[in-house]
């Protein structure tokens, strides 16, 4: 009897819920309001977009991003012949309502398309996940995540976004017609892209998250060079052998790129090796590890030292932690990765591209006050107004550059000349090499003056 009553009650509740009037957001999305067209006409009732047109998917973007986009269309920061008049016809209450409605939708996995175009997908995946050091292309995964699910309100969900829309937006960012969040991060990232690279990235993004996952060949014959010419070229990432040594190399690469996750007991801040040695330690003129292997054992600070001892010192001085044991798995795997990357390098040679190219200090000296202005203009969008870095799901997307979780006074980067060289060669992340020598020194002076561990 109780079960029958419970079922009757559930039926009444369900029937009542079905007769509830639609919310303001649902009415705007599905039916429009007055002269304002229904959002579903272009974006679908559940925000799934129109795959064959440049109408984006809204599902997965989240309330903050959707509401911010509507406000940007309304106040002129973004211009679009369709969206601008629609947004200007909405009140803030209506914007919040429709953003809330679409934020409740989850994107469906895209259907794999154009499976025959596997080499374009391979190139798109390469650009998306790693970028390209030779062309100074920034990997999209750095901000949007390897699976394209975004990283908070600043970096939206793009997995499965329509190919036509991704192309249109990358072209718009590249031309400077569209502005992204912050201070032009997407414009700087899109600026080096050519038409073919945009097409390949858009194709890969459009099928990212498809079921079943696409089988994409690791065909490097169709890829551009990884590093600039006249420098040592480390082995391809897909060339790691499927042996016990190869397993150690893969573990070492994971430790190098995510030190806080895989070597947590030995670090005292939030930095990973790849925050200073860019591109997984592969990038020329950005502290490449393949150049370091060729120079050890060597004289360092008045004594002969080995690479293993130098890596131990980095954990103490740059990571504010403690040295992993010489025979332990962390150091063993890191050395396996670094030595594999250096195969073919000439031992004892000072390879072109090693370290960071030195920067001449301006005769007028460095100005920390000018550096503070530069930080606000060029750096804060990634590293935060207070140098705290950018987190997502308790992981740092961009590392802190001062404070207790950044490098300490004993680190190599704590020297103004070294930090200026690092900044000149590698920053801003989306447009490296654009700082003048004076600007690099000004910025280094500002950062050196900020509080950091002893």
Position 138 scores a pLDDT of 79
Taking each helix axis from N to C end, the angle separating 437-448 and 416-426, rounded to the nearest 10 degrees, works out to 130
Question: With respect to CATH, is domain 118-222 assigned 1.10.760.10?
Answer: yes
pLDDT digits (tens, 9 = 90+) for 5-57: 444 444 544 444 444 567 888 888 888 877 777 888 888 888 887 766 678 88
* All structural domains of the chain with their residue ranges: 28-103, 118-222, 237-341, 368-448
Do 256 and 334 touch, CB atoms closer than 8 A?
A: yes
The CATH superfamily holding the domain 237-341 is Cytochrome c-like domain (1.10.760.10)
C-alpha 153/C-alpha 20 separation (Å) is: 31
Please tell me if the domain spanning 28-103 has the same topology as the one spanning 368-448.
yes
Would you say domain 368-448 falls under CATH 1.10.760.10? yes
Task: Specify the pLDDT at position 255.
Answer: 95
Identify the CATH class of 28-103: mainly alpha
194 to 138, 140, 160: CA distances (angstroms): 13, 15, 22
344-380: pLDDT as tens digits: 887 777 778 888 888 999 888 899 999 999 998 888 8
Residues sharing a CB contact under 8 Å with residue 275, sequence separation 6 or more, in sequence order = 399
Residues contacting residue 153 through CB under 8 Å, at least 6 positions apart: 62, 64, 65, 68, 181
The parts of the chain modelled with pLDDT lower than 70 are: 1-21, 51-53, 111-118, 133-136, 151-153, 179-184, 210-231, 392-393, 430-431
Q: Is the separation of the CB atoms in 107 and 159 below 8 Å?
A: yes
pLDDT of residue 339: 92
Q: What is the pLDDT of residue 117?
A: 66
């Amino acid at each position: 009897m109780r079960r029958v009553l419970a079922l009757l009650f559930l039926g009444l509740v369900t029937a009542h819920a079905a007769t509830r009037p639609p919310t303001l957001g649902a009415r705007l999305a599905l039916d429009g309001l007055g002269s304002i067209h229904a959002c579903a006409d272009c974006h679908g009732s559940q925000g799934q977009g129109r795959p064959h047109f440049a109408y984006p998917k809204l599902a997965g973007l989240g309330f903050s991003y959707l509401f911010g986009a509507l406000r940007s269309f309304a106040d002129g920061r973004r211009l679009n012949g369709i969206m601008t008049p629609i947004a200007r016809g909405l009140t803030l209450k209506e914007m919040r309502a429709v953003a809330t409605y679409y934020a409740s939708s989850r994107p469906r996995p895209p259907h794999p398309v154009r499976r025959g175009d596997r080499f374009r997908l391979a190139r798109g995946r390469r650009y998306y996940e790693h970028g390209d050091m030779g062309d100074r292309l920034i990997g999209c995964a750095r901000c949007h995540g390897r699976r394209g699910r975004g990283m908070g309100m600043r970096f939206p969900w793009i997995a499965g976004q329509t190919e036509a829309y991704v192309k249109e937006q990358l072209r718009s960012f590249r031309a400077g017609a569209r502005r992204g969040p912050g201070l032009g991060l997407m414009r700087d990232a899109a600026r080096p892209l050519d038409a073919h690279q945009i097409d390949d990235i858009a194709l890969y993004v459009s099928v990212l998250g498809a079921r079943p996952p696409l089988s994409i060949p690791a065909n490097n014959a169709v890829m551009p060079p990884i590093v600039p010419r006249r420098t040592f070229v480390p082995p391809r990432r897909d060339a790691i052998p499927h042996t016990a040594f190869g397993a150690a190399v893969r573990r070492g690469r994971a430790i190098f790129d995510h030190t806080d996750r895989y070597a947590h007991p030995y670090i005292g801040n939030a930095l990973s090796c790849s925050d200073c040695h860019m591109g997984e330690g592969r990038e020329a003129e950005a502290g490449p590890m393949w150049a370091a292997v060729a120079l050890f054992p060597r004289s360092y600070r008045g004594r002969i030292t080995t690479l293993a001892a130098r890596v131990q010192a980095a954990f103490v001085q740059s990571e504010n932690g403690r040295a992993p044991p010489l025979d332990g798995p962390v150091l063993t795997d890191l050395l396996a990765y670094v030595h594999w990357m250096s195969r073919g390098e000439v031992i004892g040679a000072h390879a072109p591209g090693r370290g960071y190219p030195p920067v001449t200090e301006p005769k007028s000296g460095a100005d920390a006050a000018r550096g503070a202005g530069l930080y606000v203009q060029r750096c804060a969008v990634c590293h935060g107004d207070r140098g705290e870095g950018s987190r997502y799901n308790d992981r740092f997307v961009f590392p802190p550059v001062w404070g207790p979780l950044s490098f300490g006074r004993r680190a190599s980067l704590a020297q103004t000349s070294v930090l200026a060289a690092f900044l000149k060669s590698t920053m801003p992340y989306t447009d490296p090499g654009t700082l003048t020598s004076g600007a690099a020194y000004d910025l280094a002076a500002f950062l050196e003056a900020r509080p950091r561990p002893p």
